A and B are shown apart, each in its own frame.
Chain A
Amino acid sequence: MNNIKNAILGLLCSVLIVPAAYAGTLDTVKDQGFFNCGVSQGVPGFSNPDENGNWSGIDVDVCRAVSAAIFGDADKVKYVPLTAKERFTALQAGEIDVLSRNTTWTLSRDAQIGLEFAGVNFYDGQGFMVRKDSGITSAMELDGASVCTNLGTTTELNMADFFRANSMAYEPVVFEKADEVVNAYDEGRCDTYTTDKSGLAAQRTKLADPDAHVVLPETISKEPLGPVVREGDGDWADVVRWSLNAMIEAEEFGLTNSNVKTTCAMTSNPVVARLCGKEGGTGAGLNLGDSWSYDIVSLVGNYGDVYEKHVGENTPVGLARAGSPNASYKNGGVLYAPPAR
């Protein structure tokens, strides 16, 4: 509760008192030697702290990539865990500089509430999880169900749309924090738990008996998730956007975390040479050093490295990449980075 109060107070104070001066985040960040990255309160595979308080996940790695690009060091980041409800307020109030917390890109968020989306690092869609012993195999059988979900997400709107479109009744049970949703679902308060499918896969690992639950095949919405920055600071948005693009392009050209040193030393491909920072001077336009993209790949990895490490099939989250929209466009996915030149 205190976090919310702080966030709201922070917003009110900053909007009420501090004069508008939010350009120059990049300079401020360079001066102070770190930046604040807003993450979730624990979604395995996306942003999750271990027992020592070290954060990891694909959302965390976006922030690490930004840090690597700016400082040549992936760990100049302070992580601020936020609930879904607090996240935009925290960003608007300047408590965080980048919000990388499985946040869906929508028109109203982009246009109305002073946010700028810097790209998409995970293409997701909303789904439903049910108990296996309920015998349900399709979301169309959910008429009359109690549905657990959490507050402040597009999820609430999508489920209203879904049940309305299919003329089905339901009872929404909306919690403020994800952990309480999981708890209440586990205790049997709801017949189904709905959120983004990646979130379902991640939260399932927290249930008492993960194998007793199954995610239904239907995907009821488009959820492009990505990092967000404040509107009105183009330079900073560029740094975040191109840090993400560099990770995706590095994969397209076969530059991985493990081969980046050797490949860069002997490459003759001009695109790879630019990504390695040996040609083209791409850093100047972003006010970064020329090795920015090399640092991202060598310190954090390309998109594929990051995906397989945190949410791939060999992790507890276990989301297959092949055949999903998150595959590179070369493999039939929709991941496609504009050229870094």
Chain B
Amino acid sequence: MRPSKFSNFIFNRNVQGTFYQAITLSLVILGVYYIVQNTAENMMARGLASGFHFLGVESQFDIGMTLIEYSPTSTYFDAFIVGLLNTLLVAGIGIFFATIVGFAFGIMRLSSNWLIAKIAETYIEVIRNIPLLLQIFFWYFAVLRALPKPKESIEFMDSIFLNNRGLFLPDPNFSEGSSVIFYLFWITIVISIFIFIWSKRRQNRTGITFPAFYVSAALIVGVFFASLAATGFPVSFEIPELKGFNFKGGMKLIPELVALTFALSMYTAAFIAEVVRAGIMAVSKGQTEAARSVGLKEGLVLRLIIIPQALRVIVPPLTNQYLNLTKNSSLAAAIAYPDLVLVFAGTALMQTGQAIEIIGMVMGVYLFLSLFTSILMNLFNLTMKVGER
């Protein structure tokens, strides 16, 4: 007997596949619907406020370090932005230093010099195996204890002050006429980019090298100072002054920021060092030998042959370390650095009691930051791919 058209349809693999997928999808949707519905009902039943109206209400609290204008009459949304920017700041600085220190120690650990290799190894093994929170506390209280009181500040040239309230720097104020300097500054940067491109092309064509780095550095710095002098130094510095308890005026770096970035970058650097070591060791020895045999200097062997190939192995786990650093920055709450978790998931949550909304927003931020970092690193990785020739 021939199978009917109907059974043909039922036993078709595509039809079955679609069917099961549709069932799974509807179960997921039902589940989400149930959770949302139930949450809303329970919150009503327990008299919990809900919704996002609170974001427009005055926060009525202060924050110790703000990158934007903020006061107790600002809204909870402003507090959210302040926290977010502080988190981004500490993550950005942390990633920058962790990368530099991590690469340095990773390469040092592979050094043929016994002492250098052992120093790097000790650093990595010690730092990597002590919990981060302890390290943060250690640096914070070590920093606090080592620094003097405001009245006994360490001074540099009567304009930079260091004490246990932070590092106080002169704040540049640009008066009229200074915009020319900025335009010239950006123009010289653009010119230097062209110099780099031109020198690279000429080198590819003719093999003649050009000291592009020194020339453009001299150009940028030279034009900057020349324009400063030409416009008659339209810059004044607001120098921090000791008034009452603290220094007023000038720029200020709080010790919490210093301790936190220091601890985060030192800790993550130890992991990055291992990633770098793994990447370099993954480049076959023949590559090094070949590079040496064509007469490249040791530095050039590393820069032109090994690192570009190692980066392919390094970048994906390096991305992980960047994400870890960003997420670990939430330990800031322990030492009073006003990051997103302390300000928004801490103070704001306590004052409004709206845990679900606030924790949801904070989770959203960390998710977005992680995905964004991943995208950037994936794009970078694409440029590192083996070029098909």
**Do A175 and B335 contact each other (CB < 8 Å), given the known contacts A20-B41, A114-B48?**
yes
Q: Is A132 an interface residue (CB 8 A)?
A: no
**Contact between A152 and B347, CB atoms less than 8 A apart:** yes
B43 partner residues in chain A, CB cutoff 8 A: 15
**Contact between A160 and B72, CB atoms less than 8 A apart:** yes
**Do A112 and B49 contact each other (CB < 8 Å), given the known contacts A16-B35, A174-B336, A189-B165?**
yes
Q: Is B173 an interface residue (CB 8 A)?
A: no
Q: Is A22 an interface residue (CB 8 A)?
A: yes
- Scan residues 6-32 of chain A and give those whose CB is less than 8 A from a CB of chain B: 8, 11-12, 15-20, 22
Would you call the interface of chain B mostly helix, strand, loop, or mixed? helix
Which of these, A85, A88, A112, A172, contacts B62 with CB under 8 Å? A172
Which of these, A1, A84, A170, A188, contacts B144 with CB under 8 Å? A188
**Contact between A230 and B144, CB atoms less than 8 A apart:** no
**Contact between B336 and A230, CB atoms less than 8 A apart:** no
B72 partner residues in chain A, CB cutoff 8 A: 160-161, 164
Q: Is B118 an interface residue (CB 8 A)?
A: no
Kindly state the separation between the CA atoms of A166 and B379 in the bound complex, as whole angstroms.
53
**Contact between B42 and A1, CB atoms less than 8 A apart:** no
**Contact between A174 and B347, CB atoms less than 8 A apart:** yes
**Contact between B246 and A108, CB atoms less than 8 A apart:** no
Kindly state the separation between the CA atoms of A113 and B355 in the bound complex, as whole angstroms.
10
**Contact between B61 and A157, CB atoms less than 8 A apart:** yes
Q: How many residues of A contact B (CB 8 A)?
A: 56
Total contacts A to B, CB within 8 angstroms? 148
| Most A Cβ at <10 Å: residue of B48, B141, B338 | B48
Chain A nearest CB, measured from B72 CB (Å): 4
**Contact between A145 and B46, CB atoms less than 8 A apart:** no
**Contact between A173 and B64, CB atoms less than 8 A apart:** yes
**Contact between A11 and B355, CB atoms less than 8 A apart:** yes
Kindly state the separation between the CA atoms of A315 and B245 in the bound complex, as whole angstroms.
34
Q: How many residues of B contact A (CB 8 A)?
A: 49
Which of these, B62, B133, B342, B355, contacts A8 with CB under 8 Å? B355
Would you call the interface of chain A mostly helix, strand, loop, or mixed? mixed
**Contact between B45 and A232, CB atoms less than 8 A apart:** yes
B48 partner residues in chain A, CB cutoff 8 A: 92, 112-114
Q: Is A231 an interface residue (CB 8 A)?
A: yes
Q: Is A50 an interface residue (CB 8 A)?
A: no
- With both beta carbons as reference points, the residue of chain B lying nearest to A230 in the complex is identified as B46
Q: Is A187 an interface residue (CB 8 A)?
A: yes
**Contact between A1 and B133, CB atoms less than 8 A apart:** yes
- Scan residues 150-207 of chain A and give those whose CB is less than 8 A from a CB of chain B: 151-153, 156-157, 159-161, 163-164, 170-177, 180, 183-184, 187-189, 191
Q: Is A89 an interface residue (CB 8 A)?
A: yes
Which of these, A1, A152, A188, contacts B164 with CB under 8 Å? A188
B347 partner residues in chain A, CB cutoff 8 A: 151-152, 156, 174
**Contact between B244 and A187, CB atoms less than 8 A apart:** no
**Contact between A114 and B334, CB atoms less than 8 A apart:** no
Which of these, A1, A114, A153, contacts B350 with CB under 8 Å? A153
Q: Is A36 an interface residue (CB 8 A)?
A: no
Q: Is A146 an interface residue (CB 8 A)?
A: yes
Which of these, B63, B144, B145, B333, contacts A172 with CB under 8 Å? B63
A19 partner residues in chain B, CB cutoff 8 A: 38, 42
- With both beta carbons as reference points, the residue of chain A lying nearest to B50 in the complex is identified as A112
**Contact between A146 and B245, CB atoms less than 8 A apart:** yes
Which of these, B39, B333, B349, contacts A176 with CB under 8 Å? B333
Kindly state the separation between the CA atoms of A111 and B255 in the bound complex, as whole angstroms.
38
B352 partner residues in chain A, CB cutoff 8 A: 108, 112-113
**Contact between B333 and A145, CB atoms less than 8 A apart:** no
Kindly state the separation between the CA atoms of A180 and B332 in the bound complex, as whole angstroms.
13
- Scan residues 26-51 of chain B and give those whose CB is less than 8 A from a CB of chain A: 35, 38-39, 41-43, 45-49
- With both beta carbons as reference points, the residue of chain A lying nearest to B350 in the complex is identified as A152
**Contact between A151 and B42, CB atoms less than 8 A apart:** no
Q: Is A33 an interface residue (CB 8 A)?
A: no
- Scan residues 49-106 of chain B and give those whose CB is less than 8 A from a CB of chain A: 49, 60-64, 71-72
**Do A170 and B353 contact each other (CB < 8 Å), given the known contacts A8-B359, A16-B39, A20-B42?**
no
Q: Is B228 an interface residue (CB 8 A)?
A: no
Q: Is A143 an interface residue (CB 8 A)?
A: yes
B245 partner residues in chain A, CB cutoff 8 A: 142, 144-146, 191
**Contact between A22 and B46, CB atoms less than 8 A apart:** yes
Q: Is A222 an interface residue (CB 8 A)?
A: no
Kindly state the separation between the CA atoms of A245 and B211 in the bound complex, as whole angstroms.
86
Q: Is B250 an interface residue (CB 8 A)?
A: no
A114 partner residues in chain B, CB cutoff 8 A: 46-48, 353
Q: Is A109 an interface residue (CB 8 A)?
A: yes
**Contact between A144 and B144, CB atoms less than 8 A apart:** no
Which of these, B61, B149, B164, B351, contacts A108 with CB under 8 Å? B351
- With both beta carbons as reference points, the residue of chain A lying nearest to B43 in the complex is identified as A15
Chain A nearest CB, measured from B38 CB (Å): 7
Interface string of B343-360 (1 = CB under 8 A from A): 000110111110110010
Q: Is B201 an interface residue (CB 8 A)?
A: no
**Do A151 and B333 contact each other (CB < 8 Å), given the known contacts A189-B165, A231-B46?**
yes
- With both beta carbons as reference points, the residue of chain B lying nearest to A92 in the complex is identified as B46
**Contact between A184 and B144, CB atoms less than 8 A apart:** yes
**Contact between A15 and B356, CB atoms less than 8 A apart:** yes
**Contact between A173 and B353, CB atoms less than 8 A apart:** no
**Contact between B144 and A15, CB atoms less than 8 A apart:** no
Which of these, A11, A15, A157, contacts B60 with CB under 8 Å? A157
Which of these, B38, B346, B353, contacts A109 with CB under 8 Å? B353
Which of these, A16, A144, A152, contacts B38 with CB under 8 Å? A16
Chain B nearest CB, measured from A5 CB (Å): 11
Kindly state the separation between the CA atoms of A98 and B263 in the bound complex, as whole angstroms.
39
**Contact between B39 and A15, CB atoms less than 8 A apart:** yes
**Do A172 and B64 contact each other (CB < 8 Å), given the known contacts A16-B39, A144-B248?**
yes
Interface string of B140-156 (1 = CB under 8 A from A): 01001100010000000
Closest 7 CB pairs of A and B: A113-B353, A152-B350, A20-B45, A114-B46, A144-B244, A160-B72, A112-B49
A11-B355, A88-B350 given; name 11 further pairs at CB < 8 Å: A1-B331, A12-B356, A108-B352, A113-B353, A146-B246, A156-B61, A157-B60, A157-B351, A170-B62, A176-B346, A187-B145
Please, could you name 8 A-B residue pairs with CB atoms under 8 Å apart, sorted by A?
A16-B35, A16-B39, A111-B47, A112-B353, A113-B353, A174-B342, A184-B144, A187-B144
A residues near B, CB below 8 A? 1, 8, 11-12, 15-20, 22, 84-85, 88-89, 92, 108-109, 111-114, 142-146, 148, 151-153, 156-157, 159-161, 163-164, 170-177, 180, 183-184, 187-189, 191, 230-232
